[in-house]
Amino acid sequence: MRKVAAIHDLSCYGRCSLAVILPVLSVIGVQCCPLPGTVLSTHTGGFGPVQRTDLTGQVDGTLRHWQELGLCFDGIYTGYMASAAQIHQAIEAVERLSGANTQVVVDPVLGDHGRLYTSITPQMARAMGQLCQKAQVITPNLTEAAILLGLDPETLLDQRREDLAMELSGQGQRSVVVTGVTPEPGYTGAVWYDHTTGTSGTTVAVRAPGEYPGTGDLFAAVLTGSLMMGESLERGVSRAAHFITRCASYTAALGTDVREGVLFEPLLPLLLGDALAMDDRI
């Protein structure tokens, strides 16, 4: 069984971060080894002041122990980091835990809707750029893509998305998936560039009503699991995008509190076992 070290925060309420990554990777058939850098009482999307516990010291000790055990992972996935120090720990984790065929997937959680998140500093944004250079795959949204390139997010409106993905690839050194693209009204999608094949494209899915926290984590989890199971980048992006659409539509129909995220749990059977090798059911 393939193993993925997942370096992220753990939000104890609300469907995001490791609370999403763990079940999704597990149901796909990948062992998820969580490495939380921060524990939050809830996610930060509307529940008021959040109780935070910094686990930076624990991360360092865990990395030392894993290295002493000689552990090596098939994949390393990173998400939200609470400080520049944690981002540098993630860089160290990639260096310590990677083997010859380890795939590193970085979701550079920096901002959205044209601005940095309030907890993200310019120093953290620069460190995240360094972490992205260690990755085989990065999954920024449009705002994060602009930040990584040192651009004003509004300037991306005038730039072809395929060109943007190629520029982020570092001259073809890594694959890029830019999420949150609106190809036309009523649809959402992602632009991708696959550095292993030199191909690029846009994956389009119907936009479900509502905007939910944690969908970026859900997207990255399905994509990472798909890659671990040997699927192509294009196939993984398609599965992730359509799975999120299905989950969001299901959630909207039930009318639950948006802050709780999408109800993905009842739909996890769509990702079971060799469903990844079947025709699209999602």
| DSSP3 helix / strand / coil % (the chain, rounded to 5) | 45, 25, 35
The answer to whether position 268 is within a domain reads no
Instruction: Please indicate, yes or no, if residue 237 is contained in any of the structural domains.
Output: yes
Kindly report which listed range (2-16, 81-95, 106-120) carries the lowest average pLDDT score. 106-120
Does 273 map to a domain? no
Query: What CATH number has the domain bearing residue 187?
Result: 3.40.1190.20
What average pLDDT does this structure show over 210-232? 95
Domain range for 201: 3-257
Mean pLDDT of the residues in the chain: 91
- Distance CA(260)–CA(254), nearest Å, equals 12
Q: At 48, phi and psi to the nearest 5?
A: 85, -170
Q: How far apart are CA 250 and CA 200, in angstroms?
A: 30
Tell me, yes or no, whether 277 lies in a domain: no
User: In whole angstroms, what is the distance from residue 218 CA to residue 262 CA?
Assistant: 9
Q: 270 in a domain, yes or no? A: no
d(CA 282, CA 275) in angstroms, rounded, equals 10
pLDDT tens-digit map of 121-157 = 999 999 999 999 999 999 999 999 999 998 877 666 5
261 Rama sector, left if φ>0, alpha if ψ -120 to 50, beta otherwise:
left
- Asked if residue 278 belongs to a domain, the reply is no
CA 110/CA 135 separation, integer angstroms: 16
Confidence of residue 228 (pLDDT cuts 50, 70, 90): very high
277, pLDDT greater than 90:
no
The reply to whether 220 falls in a domain is yes
111 is a domain residue? yes
Tokens standing for residue 129: 């750029």
CA distance 83 to 235: 33
pLDDT at 151: 85
Separation between Cα atoms, residue 153 and residue 25, nearest integer Å: 32
Does the pLDDT at position 275 exceed 80? no
| Mean of pLDDT values over 214-233 | 96
Q: What pLDDT score does 108 carry?
A: 97
Position 59 scores a pLDDT of 95
Span 33-88, pLDDT tens digits: 999 999 999 999 889 999 999 999 999 999 999 999 999 999 999 999 999 999 99
The predicted pLDDT at position 273 comes to 52
Residues 6+ apart with CB under 8 A from 221: 20, 21, 24, 25, 77
Domain count, the chain: 1
pLDDT at 157: 53
- Name the one residue in this structure whose structure tokens are 């540098």: 88
Band of the pLDDT at 99, cuts 50, 70, 90? very high
Beta bridge partners of 203: 190
The predicted structure's pLDDT at residue 65: 97
